[in-house]
């Protein structure tokens, strides 16, 4: 008999060789029908694999990330089975699960595939799914595996086999399809109730452009048909909110091939928006005790060799800028941290000076392959809302707490309401991976967890996700249509203070190393604005939006009154524009709605006569009439409430 411990702590004694599915069955048949995989002693297994030792067991369903990815990986096999049936002789490289679905890299030989073939592939997948073919695992010797794929003339799988050790090789077969795979897989193909081939793309074998180009087929599957429909609906919404589309429609930013790939040009409205975000954060940082610093866009190569960034970004990135006369080498700045370390070193520091907090909207440059560039979210030059806090080990907790306050303030004013904090700690199994003293790590890890709790954050702890130089806390937000983004990071660093030999004089009159905290609530201005556009679908909060009010005279006769209203609003620091085109007012309203202006003021005979405005709110319609002064106060109090 062996002992199985379930997540609720309950234990059961079962025969050796019992499977996770057996255990599920003994709990309820309904549960057993939904089990896709099982976590046995922390490893994800096939649910029908016999368990032969005492074990902790977690049953995984579609609701668990690991259950979902097991289904998607298994679906890659199903896709391959369908492709092999439809395109005899195709060869397969690898088929992993991804964030949304899975792909398989396929060598179609002389055959070709286009979007028009997707429907037939989906039908074939569903036909095979309905057969409920079990995924059968078998272990095989390396020699037998080589013989099998030599017979099939499959150079790809033979290549994969080369890297595998004898005794670790497993095959999985479902229906007529056999694949070399380490698993795990769901019990049978019948879990798939809806399948969609999403797209195809070229992918070089092993990612090397000198190799043959394979076809990467992307797909996604679901355990319920409605879930596929909901997913496709979400994609439609995401398309409508795409920041590249809205950025163009709203005149926020532009890319020019002539300027260069991945180098955004901020148009006047976009620049206005970005500067407003920057002043908002600058003001909040000033109140929180940050001091502004400014550093150049390039730095001597030696600086980045000291910091370690040259090893990370140097060779594969933008190449040095040389000064032929003096033989110097400069690099575009990939990070602001090294510069800020030198500012810390600019004069002797005492414990009484700490903490010091240096803040800079610092522009950095990193080479990204052109294929990886994407709107404002992946660019080659971007501005971080960066700051570095230098403090003692004992101050870490309070400083992290203050950064959390700042991030929460930003989330509130920008209406990110759904978020969690991910705390990344050391991998207890590999302590040698990390630099810095154990006692400092212990202290900082405890400090982050305690302060996150005290601030009432919802947290998840990830072991082994810490950087080699220190633990960190990242904010993960869900946007208005449920997509997850990483925003706002706080990182403790024991590495750079060591590399730059940073010191302060302690109360004991001896030298000590400070701790460095990197933090960037927005991350980068470019990526943040992109996420914000997609989150609010271009309807920025009133305090931030470039144009708060559109004034719409119903005919040219009232243009003069419109100008006077505009003046009053301007005196109240309200951003208003008059639409004095000779268009029907209905058209003017529609255009203002499209431009996502929060308020519209309709001005006609009675308004001009009484000195009032007739107010329309974006998406809500008529709000009623009021004096210009009353309207200005309404806007001002709405903004004050938001920025409180
Ligand atoms: Zn597999
Ligand atoms: Zn930094």
C-alpha 335 – ligand 2 centre gap (Å): 6
Which of 68, 339, 380, 472 is catalytic? The answer is 472
C-alpha 469 – ligand 2 centre gap (Å): 12
Mean pLDDT of 393-422: 94
- Quickly state the pLDDT bin for 124 (edges 50, 70, 90): very high
Residue 4 exposure: Cα atoms within 13 Å on the Cβ side: 25
Q: Which ligand is nearest to the CA of 102?
A: 1
Q: Which ligand is nearest to the CA of 470?
A: 2
The residue assigned the tokens 């409430």 is 641
Which of 274, 388, 512, 527 is catalytic? The answer is 388
Q: Which ligand is nearest to the CA of 180?
A: 1
Residue 91 has pLDDT above 80, yes or no: yes
Looking at residue 630, its pLDDT comes to 95
Which of 384, 395, 491, 548 is catalytic? The answer is 384
The number of helix segments (H) and strand segments (E) in the chain equals 20, 35
Looking at residue 435, its pLDDT comes to 83
C-alpha 311 – ligand 2 centre gap (Å): 16
Looking at residue 142, its pLDDT comes to 92
Looking at residue 46, its pLDDT comes to 94
Which of 107, 386, 474, 579 is catalytic? The answer is 386
The residue assigned the tokens 């505009």 is 566
- Residue 506 zone, left/alpha/beta (φ > 0; ψ -120 to 50; rest): beta
Least confident of 266-275, 320-329, 426-435: 426-435
DSSP line for 585-599: HHHHHHHHHHTT-SE
Catalytic site residue 388? yes
pLDDT digits (tens, 9 = 90+) for 571-601: 999 999 999 999 999 999 999 988 889 999 9
Rg (C-alpha) for the chain, rounded Å, is 30
Cα(642)–Cα(644) distance, rounded to whole angstroms?
A: 6
Q: Which ligand is nearest to the CA of 185?
A: 1
Catalytic site residue 384? yes
Count of other CB atoms within 10 angstroms of residue 346: 7
Residue 3 has pLDDT above 80, yes or no: yes
The single-letter DSSP state of residue 320 is: P
The answer to whether 518 and 467 are in contact (CB under 8 A) is: no
Helices 155-162/142-151 angle, 10° precision = 160
Count of other CB atoms within 10 angstroms of residue 495: 18
Residue 36 has pLDDT above 90, yes or no: yes
C-alpha 464 – ligand 2 centre gap (Å): 21
Cα(421)–Cα(474) distance, rounded to whole angstroms?
A: 6
Catalytic site residue 386? yes
Residue 196 exposure: Cα atoms within 13 Å on the Cβ side: 16
Residue 171 has pLDDT above 80, yes or no: yes
Looking at residue 453, its pLDDT comes to 95
C-alpha 295 – ligand 1 centre gap (Å): 50
C-alpha 76 – ligand 1 centre gap (Å): 8
Residue 17, classified by CB atoms within 10 Å of its CB into exposed (0-12), middle (13-18) or buried (19+), is exposed
The answer to whether 299 and 332 are in contact (CB under 8 A) is: no
Helix-strand-coil percent breakdown of the chain, rounded to 5? 40, 30, 35
Mean pLDDT of 162-170: 87
Which of 68, 241, 340, 366 is catalytic? The answer is 366
Looking at residue 620, its pLDDT comes to 87
Dig out the tokens for 96 from the structure: 């992993």
C-alpha 611 – ligand 2 centre gap (Å): 54
Mean pLDDT of 449-463: 94
Tell me whether the omega of the peptide bond preceding residue 355 falls within 30 degrees of 0, making it cis: yes
C-alpha 389 – ligand 2 centre gap (Å): 9
Dig out the tokens for 314 from the structure: 């140097």
Looking at residue 482, its pLDDT comes to 86
> Strand pairing of 549-553 and 576-578?
parallel
Q: Which ligand is nearest to the CA of 97?
A: 1
Coil vs helix vs strand at 97: strand
The residue assigned the tokens 């806007």 is 635
User: What percent of the chain has pLDDT above 90?
Assistant: 86
The answer to whether 103 and 216 are in contact (CB under 8 A) is: yes
Name the average pLDDT for the chain: 94
Which of 181, 337, 341, 391 is catalytic? The answer is 337
Looking at residue 438, its pLDDT comes to 87
Q: How many residues does the chain have?
A: 644
Catalytic site residue 316? no
Catalytic site residue 64? no
Q: Which ligand is nearest to the CA of 359?
A: 2
Contacts of 438 (CB under 8 A, 6+ apart): 431
The answer to whether 515 and 497 are in contact (CB under 8 A) is: yes
The answer to whether 371 and 207 are in contact (CB under 8 A) is: no
C-alpha 159 – ligand 1 centre gap (Å): 17
C-alpha 218 – ligand 2 centre gap (Å): 36
Mean pLDDT of 458-480: 92
Residue 314 has pLDDT above 80, yes or no: no
Cα(377)–Cα(397) distance, rounded to whole angstroms?
A: 31
How many Å from the N-terminal Cα to the C-terminal Cα in the chain? 63
Q: Which ligand is nearest to the CA of 389?
A: 2
3-state secondary structure 33-58: HHCCEEEECCEEECCCCEECCCEEEE
pLDDT digits (tens, 9 = 90+) for 362-375: 999 999 988 889 99
C-alpha 518 – ligand 2 centre gap (Å): 4
C-alpha 54 – ligand 1 centre gap (Å): 26
Catalytic site residue 269? no
- Quickly state the pLDDT bin for 548 (edges 50, 70, 90): very high
Residue 315 has pLDDT above 80, yes or no: no
C-alpha 256 – ligand 2 centre gap (Å): 30
> Strand pairing of 37-40 and 55-60?
antiparallel
| Higher pLDDT, residue 22 or 166 | 22
> Strand pairing of 381-391 and 356-365?
antiparallel
Q: Cα 280–379–404 angle (5° rounding)?
A: 35
Dig out the tokens for 318 from the structure: 């933008």
Looking at residue 201, its pLDDT comes to 93
Looking at residue 27, its pLDDT comes to 92
DSSP line for 284-302: HHHHTT-EE----SEEEHH
- Quickly state the pLDDT bin for 420 (edges 50, 70, 90): very high
Catalytic site residue 472? yes
Minimal CA–CA distance to 481: which of 239, 282, 216, 259? 239
Residue 556 has pLDDT above 80, yes or no: yes
Looking at residue 166, its pLDDT comes to 85
């Amino acid at each position: 008999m062996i002992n199985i411990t379930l997540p609720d702590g309950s234990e059961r004694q079962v025969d050796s060789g019992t499977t996770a599915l057996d255990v599920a069955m003994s709990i309820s048949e309904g549960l057993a029908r939904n089990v896709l995989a099982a976590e046995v002693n922390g490893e994800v297994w096939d649910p029908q694999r016999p368990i032969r030792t005492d074990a902790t067991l977690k049953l995984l369903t579609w609701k668990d990330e690991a259950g979902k990815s097991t289904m998607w990986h298994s679906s890659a096999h199903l896709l391959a089975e369908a492709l092999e049936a439809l395109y005899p002789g195709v060869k397969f490289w690898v088929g992993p699960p991804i964030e949304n679905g899975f792909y398989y890299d396929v060598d179609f030989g002389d055959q070709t595939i286009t979007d028009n073939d997707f429907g037939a592939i989906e039908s074939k997948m569903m036909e095979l799914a309905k057969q409920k073919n079990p995924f059968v695992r078998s272990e095989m010797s390396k020699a037998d595996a080589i013989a099998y794929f030599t017979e099939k003339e499959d150079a790809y799988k033979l290549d994969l086999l080369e890297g595998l050790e004898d005794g670790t090789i497993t095959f999985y077969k479902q229906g007529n399809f056999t694949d070399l795979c380490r698993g795990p897989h769901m019990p049978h193909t019948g879990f798939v109730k809806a399948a969609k081939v999403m797209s195809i793309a070229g992918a070089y074998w092993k990612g090397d452009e000198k190799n043959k180009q394979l076809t990467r087929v992307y797909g996604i599957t679901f355990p319920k048909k409605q879930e596929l429909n909901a997913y496709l609906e979400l994609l439609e919404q995401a398309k409508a909110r795409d920041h590249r589309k809205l950025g163009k429609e709203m005149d926020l930013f532009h890319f020019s091939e002539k300027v260069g790939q991945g180098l955004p040009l901020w148009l006047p409205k976009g620049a206005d928006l970005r500067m407003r975000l920057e002043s908002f954060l600058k003001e909040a940082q000033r109140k929180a005790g940050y001091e502004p610093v400014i550093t150049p866009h390039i730095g001597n190569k030696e600086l980045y060799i000291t910091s370690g960034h040259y090893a990370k970004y140097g060779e594969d990135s933008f190449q040095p800028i040389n000064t032929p006369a003096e033989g110097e080498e400069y690099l575009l700045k990939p990070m602001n941290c090294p510069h800020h370390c030198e500012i810390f070193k600019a004069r002797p520091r005492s414990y009484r000076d700490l903490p010091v907090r240096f803040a800079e909207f610092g522009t950095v440059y990193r080479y990204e392959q052109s294929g990886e560039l994407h709107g404002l979210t992946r660019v080659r030059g971007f501005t971080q809302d960066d700051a570095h806090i230098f403090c003692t080990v004992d101050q870490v907790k309070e400083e992290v707490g203050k950064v959390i306050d700042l991030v929460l303030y930003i989330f509130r004013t920008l209406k990110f309401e759904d978020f969690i904090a991910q705390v990344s700690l050391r991998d207890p199994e590999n302590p040698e991976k990390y630099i810095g003293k154990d006692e400092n790590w212990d202290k900082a890890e405890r400090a982050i967890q305690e302060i996150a709790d005290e601030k009432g954050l919802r947290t998840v702890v990830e072991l082994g996700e810490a950087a080699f130089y220190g633990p960190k806390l990242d904010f993960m937000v869900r946007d208005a249509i449920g997509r997850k983004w990483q925003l706002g990071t706080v990182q403790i660093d024991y590495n750079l203070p060591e590399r730059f030999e940073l010191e302060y004089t302690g109360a004991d009159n001896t030298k000590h190393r400070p701790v460095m905290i990197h933090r960037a609530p927005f991350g980068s201005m470019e990526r943040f604005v992109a996420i914000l556009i997609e989150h609010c679908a271009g309807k920025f909060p009133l305090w931030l939006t470039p144009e708060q009010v559109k004034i719409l005279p119903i005919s040219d006769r009232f243009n003069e009154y419109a100008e006077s209203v505009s003046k009053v609003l301007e005196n109240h620091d309200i951003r208003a524009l008059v639409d004095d085109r000779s268009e029907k007012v209905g058209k003017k309203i529609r255009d203002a709605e499209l431009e996502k202006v929060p308020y519209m003021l309709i001005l006609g005979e009675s308004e001009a006569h009484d000195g009032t405005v007739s107010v329309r709110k974006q998406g809500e319609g008529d709000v009623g009439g009021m004096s210009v002064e009353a309207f200005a106060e309404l806007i001002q109090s709405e903004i004050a409430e938001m920025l409180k």
